[in-house]
Structure formats: C-alpha cells, structure tokens
Amino acid sequence: MTTRDSLQILSETFFGRSAPHHAQMLFRECMDALGDDGIIAWYPSADNDARAVIELGPARRQLHGFQHHPTLIIHTSLPVRLHCHYTDYRTAIRAEEHARFPVGEELRAYVKDAFFDDRRSGEPSRGSIELVKGTSRRFGESTQWVMNLELSNWDFFLNVVAKRGVRFHTLIRVREGSGLGGCKLSTSYFFPWLYWAGCREVITDDMVWADQEQHERVCGWMAERGQTTTPPRFRFTPTGEAFEWSELEVSPWKLEPQEGKLLGFQDWADSLPWQRGSRVARERMKVGSDLAQPESSPGV
C-alpha cells in the first residue's frame, strides 16, 4: 500500500459527489504535492492544536530523528477546529487555502448533542482540507497539508484505516481525550496494530495502557472487518530527546519490525517499553479496565 493508494481512498471516502468542488480540487492539489514520496500523519484528539504543523516541519523532524517528507496531517477530534490558526510572539500558523466538506454521508457520522454547543443533533459531521503555513522564530517555516475531521479516534481507526485500508506513517499521540467525544476508549488499545497500519514514527507520552479485556474487544472489532488479530511484531526504538507538548513530556520513537506476530494480549503487554520505565504508566494501566466502555463496535 503506497501513500498514493491511501490518498485515493481518502479521496473516494471524503471527496465524492457530495463534497464541494473547491474541496475536491484542493485535495487533488494535496495528492499531487505528496506524490509518491509524501507521508500521512495522524493526530488523534487534536482538538484545536495546530502545533503538528511546526513539529513535523524540517527543523523539528531532524531533531526527532525523523526523515523529512511532504506530509498530510489528519486531525480527528469531537469537536475539531476546522480552520488552523494560532499566533503568539514566537509562532504564527495560518491556513493559506481552506475548504470544508461533509463527513457524515459516507461514514454515517453525525453530531451528538452532548459534545457540541452550537450544532443540532443528527447533523452530518464536518471536515476541512487546508494548506497551512507555520512560521517559528526558532524553527523557521513549515508548510503542511492538514485534514480536519469531526470523527472519534476509533471511528477513524476502525472504519478508515482498518476497513478501508488507509495507511499512516506517523502518529502523534498527545492530549488524548479518551472517554470524551463519544470515544470512551484510549488510543493505546490500537497500538498493537500500529506497524500493521503502516506506522513507522510515533510521538507519544508514556501513558500507553494495556488491558486484556479491551485488547480482546478490539480483536473482535478487527475480525468483524476481516482484519488480522495477530499483527506483526515490532519494537519501539527512541530516536530523539524527550520534550514538552501541552504540558506533557513526550518522546519520538521509530517502529522496527521483529520476527513473528503478536500472539495475544500478554505478548503485547510484555513488549511495551513504558511498563519498565514509568510508574505513572503502570498505575494508569491498573485502572485501564475502569474506563467507560462502549457497548458495541464504533461506527459502521
């Protein structure tokens, strides 16, 4: 699966006949810009945070030990800011081009009153595609394509990544709102499938939880979509120094393949580097099963 293949799936899913013409044309520009060498990055629970535009720019990627590529950053959140904009005395981030489109028709994603103050229940979810320029006094300029989607993290993973086959190269896991936005399930629980989903770079804090009941539940959801429950084995290798993001300490990692497959929950839990190094992570894992639980598979 190439980046171009994933972009084509995104085009068919979000930029069909119901999408405004301007949004369709802007996404075609994005596809042309990424070409065969570009990558897709995913930032779940992004909310209104536009920092990834700078963080995945040339200067910061080098510090993280990541190679630089043209990038499409996908933000998922409930709600999500549809227009990237941020300004302070050191940084300016703004959209140079912008178009909105409906998300709900293809994925049957709709607004729920509990999570939106200004929308009616039953309205289709929305999205936007933008060409965003970030300027930092310290790290220079960075221009990125950004797609903002009003989708829960798990709807995106199960119904866009697993079901439709989109692959992402970089994951940014910060500021997670598990239990909010209708998600109710930490993104930690799809970590066993990261390498399988094309992911090779991760920026994350150490709050990576492991829970057997949740692992088995996700295996069931993957099986419903005809996907593997024993993904390829891999290891996390640090590539750069820890740094602060939204008042949390995060670190960059690369994912490296290992022989064999992950054969069940314990096999996965034993492979996590955070269990050995973080008391907080261990404590968080102990209460993982106490989180609010969804009763059924998210989405369609």
Q: Average per-residue pLDDT in the chain?
A: 83
Mean pLDDT of 38-57: 91
Q: What percent of the chain has pLDDT over 70?
A: 82
Predicted confidence at residue 18, as pLDDT, reads: 83
**Which pair of structure tokens corresponds to residue 277?**
């190094």
Report whether 197 contacts 168 (CB < 8 A).
yes
Bridge partners of residue 97, in order along the sequence: 131
Predicted confidence at residue 24, as pLDDT, reads: 96
Give 113: exposed, middle or buried? Use CB within 10 Å, 0-12, 13-18, 19+. Answer: exposed
Task: Look at phi and psi of residue 113 and say left if phi exceeds 0, alpha if psi is from -120 to 50, else beta.
Answer: alpha
Predicted confidence at residue 222, as pLDDT, reads: 94
Predicted confidence at residue 291, as pLDDT, reads: 31
Sequence-separated (6 or more) residues with CB below 8 Å from residue 19: 101, 102
Q: What percent of the chain has pLDDT over 90?
A: 50
Predicted confidence at residue 283, as pLDDT, reads: 43
Task: Mark 227-252 as b/e (b = at least 16 C-beta within 10 Å).
Answer: bebebbbbebeebbeeeebeeeebbb
At residue 279, does pLDDT exceed 70? no
CB count in 10 Å sphere of residue 160:
25
Q: How far apart are CA 197 and CA 234, in angstroms?
A: 12
* Kind of pairing between the strands at 170-173 and 85-87: unpaired
At residue 47, does pLDDT exceed 90? no
- 102-158: pLDDT as tens digits: 886 667 666 565 555 555 556 677 899 999 999 998 888 999 999 999 888 888 999
Highest mean pLDDT: which of 46-55, 84-93, 111-120, 188-197?
188-197
- 15-33: pLDDT as tens digits: 988 899 999 999 999 999 9
Tallying the residues shown for the chain, one arrives at: 300
**DSSP designation for 66:** P
Predicted confidence at residue 105, as pLDDT, reads: 64
Task: Tell which residue, 46, 4, 36, 236, has the closest CA to residue 130.
Answer: 46
pLDDT interval class at 242 (50, 70, 90): very high
Sequence-separated (6 or more) residues with CB below 8 Å from residue 100: 20, 23, 82, 126, 127, 128
At residue 180, does pLDDT exceed 50? no
C-alpha torsion 5→11→13→18, nearest 10: -160
**Which pair of structure tokens corresponds to residue 189?**
């629980």
CB count in 10 Å sphere of residue 98:
20
